[in-house]
Structure 1
Protein backbone atom coordinates (compact mmCIF):
# COMPACT_ATOMS: atom_id res chain seq x y z
CA UNK A 1 0.00 0.00 0.00
CA UNK A 2 2.83 2.43 0.89
CA UNK A 3 4.59 1.57 -2.34
CA UNK A 4 1.43 2.32 -4.35
CA UNK A 5 1.03 5.69 -2.62
CA UNK A 6 4.68 6.46 -3.27
CA UNK A 7 4.30 5.61 -6.98
CA UNK A 8 1.15 7.75 -7.21
CA UNK A 9 3.00 10.66 -5.59
CA UNK A 10 5.88 10.29 -8.07
CA UNK A 11 3.40 10.17 -10.96
CA UNK A 12 1.62 13.29 -9.70
CA UNK A 13 4.94 15.15 -9.40
CA UNK A 14 5.89 14.10 -12.92
CA UNK A 15 2.60 15.30 -14.37
CA UNK A 16 2.88 18.56 -12.45
CA UNK A 17 6.43 19.11 -13.69
CA UNK A 18 5.31 18.44 -17.27
CA UNK A 19 2.59 21.10 -17.13
CA UNK A 20 4.93 23.55 -15.43
CA UNK A 21 7.99 23.13 -17.65
CA UNK A 22 6.67 22.25 -21.12
CA UNK A 23 7.11 24.77 -23.95
CA UNK A 24 3.83 26.59 -23.27
CA UNK A 25 3.64 25.65 -19.61
CA UNK A 26 2.73 27.75 -16.62
CA UNK A 27 6.34 28.75 -15.88
CA UNK A 28 6.86 30.18 -19.35
CA UNK A 29 3.54 32.03 -19.30
CA UNK A 30 4.31 33.60 -15.94
CA UNK A 31 7.78 34.60 -17.09
CA UNK A 32 6.48 36.11 -20.34
CA UNK A 33 3.81 38.05 -18.46
CA UNK A 34 6.40 39.27 -15.96
CA UNK A 35 8.75 40.39 -18.74
CA UNK A 36 5.94 42.23 -20.50
CA UNK A 37 4.89 43.90 -17.24
CA UNK A 38 8.49 44.96 -16.57
CA UNK A 39 8.81 46.42 -20.06
CA UNK A 40 5.54 48.32 -19.66
CA UNK A 41 6.62 49.52 -16.23
CA UNK A 42 9.79 50.94 -17.76
CA UNK A 43 8.00 53.01 -20.38
CA UNK A 44 8.01 50.60 -23.33
CA UNK A 45 4.82 51.09 -25.38
CA UNK A 46 2.28 48.25 -25.11
CA UNK A 47 2.68 47.09 -28.76
CA UNK A 48 6.44 46.93 -28.39
CA UNK A 49 6.30 45.18 -25.00
CA UNK A 50 3.84 42.63 -26.40
CA UNK A 51 6.22 41.90 -29.27
CA UNK A 52 9.39 41.79 -27.18
CA UNK A 53 8.29 39.71 -24.18
CA UNK A 54 7.77 36.35 -25.92
CA UNK A 55 10.96 36.74 -27.94
CA UNK A 56 13.05 37.58 -24.88
CA UNK A 57 11.65 34.65 -22.92
CA UNK A 58 12.47 32.35 -25.86
CA UNK A 59 16.04 33.59 -26.18
CA UNK A 60 17.15 34.21 -22.60
CA UNK A 61 17.38 32.13 -19.46
CA UNK A 62 15.55 33.05 -16.27
CA UNK A 63 18.91 34.20 -14.83
CA UNK A 64 19.51 36.48 -17.81
CA UNK A 65 15.99 37.90 -17.60
CA UNK A 66 16.60 38.69 -13.95
CA UNK A 67 19.86 40.42 -14.87
CA UNK A 68 17.93 42.61 -17.31
CA UNK A 69 15.82 43.76 -14.36
CA UNK A 70 18.92 45.70 -13.24
CA UNK A 71 18.09 48.20 -15.98
CA UNK A 72 15.05 49.34 -14.02
CA UNK A 73 15.34 52.85 -12.67
CA UNK A 74 16.99 53.02 -9.28
CA UNK A 75 15.84 55.38 -6.57
CA UNK A 76 16.07 58.94 -7.83
CA UNK A 77 16.32 57.99 -11.51
CA UNK A 78 13.59 58.91 -13.99
CA UNK A 79 11.64 56.06 -15.62
CA UNK A 80 13.14 56.86 -19.02
CA UNK A 81 16.86 57.72 -19.16
CA UNK A 82 17.24 61.42 -20.01
CA UNK A 83 20.39 60.92 -22.12
CA UNK A 84 22.36 58.36 -24.08
CA UNK A 85 24.94 58.24 -21.30
CA UNK A 86 22.26 57.45 -18.71
CA UNK A 87 20.83 54.70 -20.95
CA UNK A 88 24.28 53.19 -21.45
CA UNK A 89 24.89 53.25 -17.71
CA UNK A 90 21.72 51.20 -17.19
CA UNK A 91 22.88 48.72 -19.83
CA UNK A 92 26.23 48.38 -18.04
CA UNK A 93 24.42 47.43 -14.83
CA UNK A 94 23.12 44.29 -16.53
CA UNK A 95 26.67 42.88 -16.74
CA UNK A 96 25.65 40.21 -19.27
CA UNK A 97 26.69 40.97 -22.84
CA UNK A 98 24.58 38.21 -24.38
CA UNK A 99 21.44 39.40 -22.59
CA UNK A 100 22.04 42.99 -23.70
CA UNK A 101 22.71 41.89 -27.30
CA UNK A 102 19.47 39.90 -27.38
CA UNK A 103 17.56 42.83 -25.86
CA UNK A 104 18.89 45.15 -28.57
CA UNK A 105 18.19 42.63 -31.37
CA UNK A 106 14.67 41.95 -30.14
CA UNK A 107 13.94 45.66 -29.72
CA UNK A 108 15.24 46.41 -33.21
CA UNK A 109 13.31 43.54 -34.79
CA UNK A 110 10.08 44.48 -33.05
CA UNK A 111 10.60 48.15 -33.92
CA UNK A 112 10.98 47.38 -37.63
CA UNK A 113 8.08 44.93 -37.55
CA UNK A 114 5.75 47.41 -35.84
CA UNK A 115 6.91 50.28 -38.08
CA UNK A 116 5.92 48.36 -41.20
CA UNK A 117 2.71 47.02 -39.70
CA UNK A 118 3.85 43.40 -39.52
Structure 2
Protein backbone atom coordinates (compact mmCIF):
# COMPACT_ATOMS: atom_id res chain seq x y z
CA UNK A 1 0.00 0.00 0.00
CA UNK A 2 1.23 3.47 -0.78
CA UNK A 3 1.55 6.25 1.76
CA UNK A 4 -1.41 8.14 0.28
CA UNK A 5 -3.79 5.16 0.45
CA UNK A 6 -5.67 6.37 3.58
CA UNK A 7 -6.40 9.70 1.89
CA UNK A 8 -7.71 7.96 -1.21
CA UNK A 9 -9.87 5.67 0.93
CA UNK A 10 -11.27 8.76 2.65
CA UNK A 11 -12.00 10.42 -0.69
CA UNK A 12 -15.17 8.40 -1.27
CA UNK A 13 -16.47 9.24 2.19
CA UNK A 14 -15.68 12.92 1.72
CA UNK A 15 -17.38 12.93 -1.68
CA UNK A 16 -20.49 11.33 -0.14
CA UNK A 17 -20.47 13.84 2.72
CA UNK A 18 -20.25 16.75 0.27
CA UNK A 19 -23.19 15.37 -1.71
CA UNK A 20 -25.11 14.86 1.56
CA UNK A 21 -24.37 18.50 2.37
CA UNK A 22 -26.06 19.52 -0.87
CA UNK A 23 -23.27 19.88 -3.44
CA UNK A 24 -23.55 18.48 -6.96
CA UNK A 25 -21.87 15.16 -7.72
CA UNK A 26 -19.39 16.82 -10.09
CA UNK A 27 -18.30 19.49 -7.59
CA UNK A 28 -18.22 16.98 -4.73
CA UNK A 29 -15.95 14.61 -6.69
CA UNK A 30 -13.62 17.41 -7.73
CA UNK A 31 -13.43 18.94 -4.26
CA UNK A 32 -13.03 15.60 -2.45
CA UNK A 33 -9.98 14.75 -4.52
CA UNK A 34 -8.29 18.04 -3.62
CA UNK A 35 -9.40 18.11 0.02
CA UNK A 36 -8.33 14.59 1.02
CA UNK A 37 -4.78 15.39 -0.07
CA UNK A 38 -4.65 18.59 1.98
CA UNK A 39 -6.68 18.09 5.18
CA UNK A 40 -6.25 15.95 8.29
CA UNK A 41 -8.63 13.14 9.17
CA UNK A 42 -10.04 15.30 12.00
CA UNK A 43 -10.76 18.15 9.60
CA UNK A 44 -12.39 15.76 7.13
CA UNK A 45 -14.58 14.44 9.94
CA UNK A 46 -15.75 17.98 10.68
CA UNK A 47 -16.82 18.29 7.05
CA UNK A 48 -18.58 14.95 7.18
CA UNK A 49 -20.85 16.31 9.93
CA UNK A 50 -22.13 19.11 7.65
CA UNK A 51 -25.35 17.73 6.25
CA UNK A 52 -28.30 19.79 5.18
CA UNK A 53 -30.61 20.89 2.43
CA UNK A 54 -29.37 21.25 -1.13
CA UNK A 55 -27.32 24.40 -1.38
CA UNK A 56 -24.75 25.98 -3.64
CA UNK A 57 -21.01 26.27 -3.19
CA UNK A 58 -21.16 29.72 -1.62
CA UNK A 59 -23.64 28.55 1.03
CA UNK A 60 -21.48 25.51 1.75
CA UNK A 61 -18.36 27.68 2.18
CA UNK A 62 -20.29 29.96 4.55
CA UNK A 63 -21.25 26.90 6.62
CA UNK A 64 -17.61 25.73 6.73
CA UNK A 65 -16.57 29.23 7.86
CA UNK A 66 -18.71 28.78 11.00
CA UNK A 67 -16.55 25.80 12.05
CA UNK A 68 -13.77 28.27 12.86
CA UNK A 69 -10.86 26.32 11.34
CA UNK A 70 -8.85 28.67 9.10
CA UNK A 71 -6.97 25.92 7.27
CA UNK A 72 -10.18 23.97 6.64
CA UNK A 73 -11.86 27.12 5.31
CA UNK A 74 -8.90 27.97 3.06
CA UNK A 75 -8.72 24.50 1.51
CA UNK A 76 -12.50 24.34 1.08
CA UNK A 77 -12.69 27.80 -0.48
CA UNK A 78 -9.83 27.12 -2.87
CA UNK A 79 -11.22 23.72 -3.88
CA UNK A 80 -14.70 25.18 -4.41
CA UNK A 81 -13.39 28.05 -6.54
CA UNK A 82 -11.04 25.95 -8.67
CA UNK A 83 -13.64 23.24 -9.23
CA UNK A 84 -16.49 25.66 -9.99
CA UNK A 85 -14.39 27.57 -12.54
CA UNK A 86 -13.01 24.40 -14.12
CA UNK A 87 -9.39 25.26 -13.25
CA UNK A 88 -8.85 22.17 -11.09
CA UNK A 89 -7.23 19.32 -13.01
CA UNK A 90 -9.76 17.00 -11.35
CA UNK A 91 -12.62 18.87 -13.07
CA UNK A 92 -11.15 18.66 -16.59
Name the CA distance, whole Å, in 2 between partners of 1:41 and 1:100: 18
Q: Quick check: 1:68–1:94 contact (8 Å CA) kept in 2?
A: no
Query: Which residue is 2:37 aligned to?
Result: 58
Paired residues in the alignment total: 88
Q: Residue 47 of structure 1 is aligned with which of 8, 21, 26?
A: 26
Q: Runs of 4 or more off by more than 3 Å in structure 1?
A: none
TM-score w.r.t. the length of structure 2 is 0.75
CA root-mean-square deviation: 2.8
Query: Which residue is 2:71 aligned to?
Result: 98
Deviation (angstroms), 1:28: 2.2
Name the CA distance, whole Å, in 1 between partners of 2:49 and 2:68: 9
Name the structure where helix makes up a greater proportion of residues. Answer: 1
Taking CA–CA contacts closer than 8 Å with sequence separation of 6 or more, which of the two structures ends up with the larger relative contact order? Answer: 2
Q: Quick check: 2:31–2:80 contact (8 Å CA) kept in 1?
A: yes
TM-score w.r.t. the length of structure 1 is 0.61
Q: Quick check: 1:71–1:94 contact (8 Å CA) kept in 2?
A: no
